[in-house]
C-alpha cells in the first residue's frame, strides 16, 4: 500500500490535476491512498475572507465569488458535461455554507479559532470531491 499526498501547487489548476491523474495511472498496480490539499492559494484566500468579514469589510463576498468561480471553472475544464451537474451543485452548496459562516463572522465581528478551522476545512473538502469526480470519470 502507498499513500500519495498532493499539495496545493500540485492541484492548483486543471492542468496540474490532469498530471496527478497521469501519476496515479502509473501507480495503479499498488493499492494507493490519495491525499489532496486545497487548490493552490485557496487556504490563504479562505482565511482572508474570514478576516475581512471579522473586520467589517464586506469585500469578503467578492473574494468568495472569485473562489467559487475558480472552482466551478476547474470542474468544467476537467469533467465531461454529462458528469458536471452533481459536482457543480456540491461546489455551490459548500461555498454557500462558507458565505453563511462569513456572514455570521461579519455580523458578530468575531472570528474564533473554531470558526477559522471550519472555514479552512472547506478548501480540502471541495478539492477532494472535484479530484475524486475527475479520477472516477473516464
- C-alpha 128/C-alpha 92 separation (Å) is 15
**What nine digits make up the cell of 63?**
473574494
pLDDT of residue 30: 79
The confidence score (pLDDT) of residue 120 equals 98
Residue 108 confidence (pLDDT) above 90? yes
**How much is the mean pLDDT over the chain?**
96
All cell numbers assigned to 84? 458536471
pLDDT tens-place string over residues 2-16:
999 999 999 999 999
pLDDT digits (tens, 9 = 90+) for 35-75: 999 999 999 999 999 999 999 999 999 999 999 999 999 99
At 75 the pLDDT is: 99
Q: Average pLDDT of 74-78?
A: 98
- Residue recorded with cell 498530471: 19
Give, as one character, the DSSP assignment of residue 80: -
Which residues sit opposite 35 in a β-bridge? 5
For 81, the grid coordinates are 458535461
Instruction: Provide the 3-class DSSP secondary structure of residue 103.
Output: helix
How large is the average pLDDT for residues 23-40?
Answer: 90
Number of Cβ within a 10 Å radius of residue 39? 27
pLDDT value, residue 1 = 86
**Distance between CA atoms of residues 68 and 70, nearest Å:** 5
Please spell the DSSP secondary structure of 81-94, one letter per residue: GGGTHHHHHHHHHH
Domains, the chain, in order of start with CATH, read 40-136 (1.20.120.1320)
Amino acid at each position: 500500500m502507498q499513500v500519495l499526498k498532493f499539495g496545493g501547487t500540485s492541484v492548483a489548476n486543471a492542468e496540474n490535476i490532469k498530471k496527478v491523474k497521469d501519476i496515479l495511472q502509473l501507480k495503479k498496480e499498488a493499492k494507493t491512498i490519495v491525499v489532496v490539499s486545497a487548490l493552490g492559494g485557496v487556504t490563504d484566500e479562505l482565511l482572508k475572507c474570514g478576516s475581512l468579514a471579522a473586520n467589517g469589510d464586506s469585500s469578503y463576498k467578492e473574494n468568495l465569488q472569485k473562489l467559487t468561480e475558480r472552482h466551478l471553472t476547474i470542474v468544467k475544464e476537467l469533467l465531461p458535461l454529462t458528469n458536471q451537474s452533481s459536482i457543480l451543485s456540491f461546489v455551490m452548496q459548500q461555498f454557500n455554507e462558507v458565505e453563511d459562516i462569513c456572514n455570521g463572522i461579519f455580523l458578530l465581528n468575531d472570528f474564533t479559532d473554531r470558526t477559522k478551522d471550519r472555514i479552512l476545512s472547506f478548501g480540502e473538502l471541495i478539492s477532494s470531491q472535484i479530484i475524486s469526480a475527475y479520477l472516477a470519470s473516464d
